[in-house]
Structure 1
C-alpha cells in the first residue's frame, strides 16, 4: 500500500495535481492509518480537527489564520463533524503533488452519527444527524474514480491515474492570461476594473505584479492583512496595506486602490471606498469557501459605472483538471450550471423537500446555485443548513424543467409561554427564531413568540426571468398555503428596491433596526404579513 502510494504521489508531483484520499473506518483504525500516512508522506502533514494531535495542527475554525500560505499534504478529521467551509479552504492551500486525507466514520454508520458541526448552523441545542449531506459524500467518493478510497472493510481502491503531461510551475513571470490583463490594466483610464477567478488562478499575483509596475502611489486593502501575503510577495516595496475601515476613516488618497477578495467586504463599505479613488482594481474569488459567487458580478459589479471585467480561467498553482479541485467543486456545488441557459416557457411552482437531496439531487442543487448567485455571501455552511437543518421549507419555480426561481423559508416561533415570557423579559435568547424573538422583545407582547411563523430566508429569480413577477408569485403561493402558521415574515438589509418589492408582496413594517449589520452594512428591517 505505502509503496504504491508513494509512487502515485511522485507521479502527481510531476503532473502538478492534487488528490483526495478518504479513510473510512472506526476511530482507532482511521487514526492509526492517518498517522502512518503522515509519517511516510512527509511534507507539512497539517492536521485539521477538533481534537489536537502532534504539530502542525489547527482547529477547523482557526484555519483562516493559515490562508495565504501553501501546504504540502493535509489531514482533515471529519469523524465527529465536518466543517465544509474549512474543508474547502484547506483544499485551496495545498500545493501541487499534495494529498488531502479525509477521515470519516464507516460509510454504513456515518448517516446515523450526530455531526458536532451542526451546532453552528442547525439552531438546535444538541448535534443532529445529517443524512442528506453524508449520503452525498458517500455517493461522490464511491463514484469518483480519481479518489483514493480506503475503507476499513475493504482493500484500498487506487485511482486509475492515467498518465498526464508533465507540469511546469509558474516562475514568477506573468502567465499568458495574466500578461494580457496586466497590459490592459496598465492602460486603464479612470474607472474600475474587476478580476474574478476560482482559487489558484493567480489573481492576487496579478494584482501584485500590477502594483510593482505602477508609476503612481497605490493602496491595498482586503478583509484581513493575512489574505494579501501572495499579493505582497509580488508587489515588493510598492506594497502598502490599510484595513477597509481604517482606510475609510482616513483622508488617504492615491492614484490606485487595489481591493483583494473584494466580495468579502460589505457592499456599501466597498462602494464608499471605490468612490474615493480615480482607479480601482477589485479581485475576488468567484466560487469558494468565503461565500462569494456569481452574485458579486450580478449585484455589486453590475451597479458600477465604467467597469471593465476580466477573468482568469487557467490554474497556475496546479495543473488544469486537478482531481482534488474537481472533487471539492462537485461536493460543495461550486459551479454555475443553473445560469448557463435561460429558463423559458410557462412557470410551474412546486414544493421541494430536503429528501430531494437523495431522490432527485439535481433539483435542489440547481436551487442552491441560483440562491448562491443571488446572495453572494452564501457559504458552504448555508448548503449544510439547506440539506439537513430542521424547520426548513422550499419552493421552486420551474420553466421547461429548468429552475427559474427558488424560495427558502424557516419555521420560527411556537415557543412555550414560559420561554416566550423569558424572551420578552430579556432573560433568554434561544437559538434561531430571529423574528419571533424580536416580536416578543420589542413588540411589547410577552406571548408573541408563542405564535408560529414562516420567515423568508432567501429568495432568488434567474436573471433572465426577473421582470416576470416570479418573486411575488412564489411569496403569494406560500402565503396561500401557510396553513397552521400565524404570520409570514422577512428580515432584510434596507435598500429602496427591496423595500418596494416586499411592500408589493403585501408585507407591513413591524420593526426598523437601529444599527447597521456588519455583514450587509445595511439597517435591518423586519416585515410581517397576515
Structure 2
C-alpha cells in the first residue's frame, strides 16, 4: 500500500497535479492511518482540525492566516464537523504533487451524525445532522475515479487514470495568456479593464507584472493588505498600497488604479474609486471559497461603459485538469453552467424541497448556481444552509430542464409571547429571526415576533429572462401559497432600483438603518408584505413604520 502510494505521489509531482485522499472509518482508525501517512509522505503535512495535532497545525477558522503561502500535503479532519469553506481554501494552498487527506466518519454512519460546524450556519442551538450534504459527499467520493478512497471496511481504491504529460512549473515570466493580456493592458486607452479567473490562474501575478512595467504610476487597493501579497511579489519595489476607504478619503492621484479582488469591495465604494482615475484594472475570482465574482460581472461590470474584459483560463500553480481542483469544484458547485445557455420557452413555477438534493440534484444545483452568480457574497456556508438547515423554502421558475429563476426564503418568527416580549425589551436576541426581531425591537409591538414570516434570503432571474416580471411572479406565487404564515419580508441594501422592485411586489418599507453596511456600502432596509391583505402586518410592521418615521 505505502510503496504504491509513494510511487503515485512521485508521478503526481511529475504531472503537476494534486489529488484527494479520503480516509473513512472510526476515529481511532482514521487517526492512526493519518499519522502513518503524515510521516511517510513528508512535506509540510499541515493538520487542519478543531483539535490541534502536532505542528504544523491550525483550526479551520484560522486557516486564512496561512493564505498566501503554499504547502506540500495537508490533512483535514472532518470527523466531527465539516467546514467546507476551509477545506476549499486549504486546497488552494497545496503545491503540485500534494495530497489533501480528508478524514471522515464511516459512510454508513455519517448521514446520521450531528455536524458541529452546523452551529455556524443553521441558526439552531445545537448541532444538526446534514444528510443531504453528506450523501452528496459520499456519492462523489465513490463516483470520482481520481479520488483515492480508503474505507476501514475495504482495501484502498487507487485512482485509475492514464499517465499525463510531464508538467513544467512557471518560472516567473508571463505565461502565454498573461503575456497577451499584459500587452493589451499596457496600450489600454483611458477606461476600465477587468480580469477574471478561477483560483491559481495568475490574475494577481498579472496585476503585479503590469505594476512593474508601469514603474510606480499606479495605486493598488484591495479588501486587505494581505490580499496583495502575490501581486507585491511580482511588482518589485513599485507597490503603493492604500486601503479602499483611505484612498477614497485622500486626494492621491495616479495614472492607474489596480484593484485586486474587486468583488469583495462594496460596489458604491468601488464605483467612486474607479471614477477618480483615468485607467483602472479590476481583478476578481469568479468562483471560490469566499464567494463568487459572477454576480460582480453581471451587476457592477455591466454598469461600466466601454469596459474591456479579459479571462485567464489556464492554471499556473498546477497542471490543467488537476483532480483535486475538479473534485472541490464539483462538490461545492463552483462551476457556472446555469449561465452558459439561455433558458428559452414558457415558464412554470414550482416549489422545490431540500429532499430534491437526493432525488433530482440537478435542479437545486442549477438554482444554487443562479443564486450564487447573482449574489457575489454567496459562499459554501450558504450551500450547506440551503441543503440542510431547517426552515428553508424555495421556488423555482423552470422552462423545460433549465432554471430561469430561483427564490430562497427562510422561516422566521413564531416566538413565544414571553420570548417576543423579552426581544422587544432588549433582554434577548435568539439566533436567526433577523426581520422578526427587528419588528419587535423597533416596531413598538411586544408581540411582533410571535407572528410567523418567510424572509427572502436570495432571489435571482437568469440575465436573458430579466424584465419579464419573473421575480414578481415568484414572490406572488409563494405569497399565495404561504399557509400558516402571516407575512413575507426582505432585508436588503437600499438602492432606489432595488426598492422599486420590492415596492412593485407589494412590500412596505418599515425600517432604514442608520449606518452603511460594510458588505454593500448601503443602508439596510427592511420591508414586510402581508400574505393575506397585501400590506404590512398590522401589529408588527405598523409599529415599526411608526418607529422608522
Instruction: Give the TM-score taking structure 1 as reference length.
Output: 0.97
Q: Is the 8 A contact 1:291 1:376 kept in 2?
A: yes
Q: Deviations over 1:435-478 (max 9, x none)?
A: 10001000000010001011111100001100111001000001
Moved more, 192-201 or 66-75: 66-75
Q: CA deviation at 1:253?
A: 1.7
* CA deviations over 1:57-76 (Å, ceiling 9, x no partner): 11111111111111111111
CA distance in 1, matches of 2:444, 2:461: 36
Deviation per CA, 1:136-191: give whole Å up to 9, x if none: 00000000000000011111000013100000000111111000000000011111
Cα distance in structure 2, aligned partners of 1:52 and 1:249: 43
Shift of 1:251: 2.0
Alpha carbons 1:46, 1:75 under 8 Å: kept:
yes
* Contact 1:178–1:206 (Cα < 8 Å) also in 2: yes
Name the CA distance, whole Å, in 2 between partners of 1:429 and 1:156: 49
- Once the two structures are TM-superposed, the CA of residue 215 in structure 1 deviates from its matched residue by 4.1
Distance of 2:263 and 2:168 partners within structure 1? 31
Counterparts of 1:263 and 1:14, CA distance in 2: 35
C-alpha contact (below 8 Å) 1:513/1:523 kept by paired residues: no
Question: What is the alpha-carbon root mean square deviation over aligned residues?
Answer: 3.2
Q: Distance in 1 between matches of 2:336 and 2:541?
A: 28
In the TM superposition, residue 17 of structure 1 has moved relative to its aligned partner by 0.3
Change (3 A) 1:462 1:156: same
Which 4+ residue blocks in structure 1 deviate beyond 3 angstroms? 519-530
Summarize deviations over 1:91-139 as a string: whole Å, max 9, x none. 1111100000001001011001111110110000000000000000000
Q: Distance in 2 between matches of 1:510 and 1:17?
A: 54
CA apart distance, 1:293: 2.9
How far residue 279 of structure 1 moved from its aligned partner, in angstroms, is 1.1
Q: How far 1:484 sits from its partner (Å)?
A: 0.8
8 Å CA contact 1:218, 1:256 repeated in 2: yes
Verify the 8 A CA contact 2:510 2:541 in the aligned structure 1: no
Give the Cα separation in 2 of the matches to 1:52 and 1:229.
Answer: 27
Taking the aligned partners of 1:312 and 1:372, their CA distance within structure 2 comes to 21
Q: 1:169 to 1:318 in 2, by over 3 A?
A: same
User: Which ranges in structure 2 are unaligned for 5 or more consecutive residues?
Assistant: 518-537
Q: Cα distance 1:440–1:78, how it changes in 2: closer, same or farther (>3 A)?
A: same
Displacement of 1:514 in angstroms is: 1.1
CA distance in 1, matches of 2:76, 2:136: 18
CA distance in structure 2 between the aligned counterparts of 1:526 and 1:360, rounded to whole angstroms: 43
Any conservation in 2 of the 1:48–1:58 contact (CA below 8 Å)? yes
SS at match of 1:453: strand
Note the C-alpha offset of 1:509: 1.1
Equivalent residues of 1:45, 1:72 under 8 A apart = yes
Alpha carbons of structure 1 residues 524 and 418: separation in structure 2 relative to 1, 3 Å: closer
Is contact 2:444–2:543 with CA below 8 Å preserved after alignment? no
Q: 1:177 to 1:228 in 2, by over 3 A?
A: same
Q: CA deviation at 1:302?
A: 0.7
Deviation at 1:401, TM superposition (A): 2.0
The answer as to whether partners of 2:118 and 2:128 remain within 8 angstroms in 1 is yes
The change in CA–CA distance for 1:55 and 1:521 in structure 2 (over 3 A counts) is farther
Contact 1:91/1:325, CA 8 A, preserved across alignment: yes
Deviation at 1:216, TM superposition (A): 4.9
Corresponding residue SS for 1:284: strand
Tell me, in whole angstroms, the C-alpha distance in 2 between the residues paired with 1:53 and 1:116. 19
- Preserved CA contact (<8 Å) 2:445 2:539: no
Could you tell me whether the CA contact under 8 Å between 2:405 and 2:470 is conserved in 1?
A: yes
Deviations 1:237-257 (A, max 9, x none): 011222222222222221111
Query: Given that residues 447 and 540 in structure 2 are in contact (C-alpha distance below 8 angstroms), is that contact kept between their aligned partners in structure 1?
Result: no
Displacement of 1:388: 0.3
SS of the residue aligned with 1:418?
Answer: helix
Residues 290, 489 of structure 1: CA spacing in aligned structure 2 closer, same or farther, 3 A cutoff?
Answer: same
TM-score with structure 2 setting the length = 0.94
CA–CA separation in structure 2 for the residues paired with 1:157 and 1:99: 15
The residue number in structure 2 matching 1:107 is 107
Q: Is the 8 A contact 2:444 2:547 kept in 1?
A: no
SS of the residue 2:29 aligns to:
helix
Q: Distance in 2 between matches of 1:71 and 1:414?
A: 48
Q: CA deviation at 1:527?
A: 13
Give the superposition deviation at 1:526. 9.6
Q: 1:489·1:528 contact (CA, 8 Å) conserved in 2? A: no
